Amino acid sequence: MYLVKVYVTYKESVLDPQGEAVKGAVHRLGYQDVTSIRIGKYFEIKVAALDEKTETDVQREIEAICDKLLANVNMETYRYEISLLEEVSV
């Protein structure tokens, strides 16, 4: 089993109104030293390691899923980390 962690964030050039709103709330809580907050989406995806599926296969699959579904590639950018989960046999 592979565990893939995907981070989808706005591109630097894109304004993040939600981040600005949260920053305002944080300042009202008294934490004035917080200078910026950017908000993104975080996915934990498990992929079955069938028929000797390699990490490269998983990489290609995740990029296709991100491009088609998880990220709006006009405004957002994504990065991911792939790790192999130890199978626990009972």
Q: Which residues sit at the interface with its own copies, rule CB under 8 A? A: 1, 7-9, 22, 25-26, 29, 31, 33-48, 50, 53, 61, 64-65, 68-70
Kindly state the smallest distance separating residue 29's Cβ from its own copies, in Å. Answer: 6
Minimum CB distance to its own copies smaller for 14 or for 22: 22
Minimum CB distance to its own copies smaller for 36 or for 89: 36
Buried b (16+ CB within 10 A) or exposed e, 34-59: eeeeeebeebebebebeeeeeeeebe
Q: How far apart (Å, rounded) are the C-alpha atoms in residues 68 and 64?
A: 6
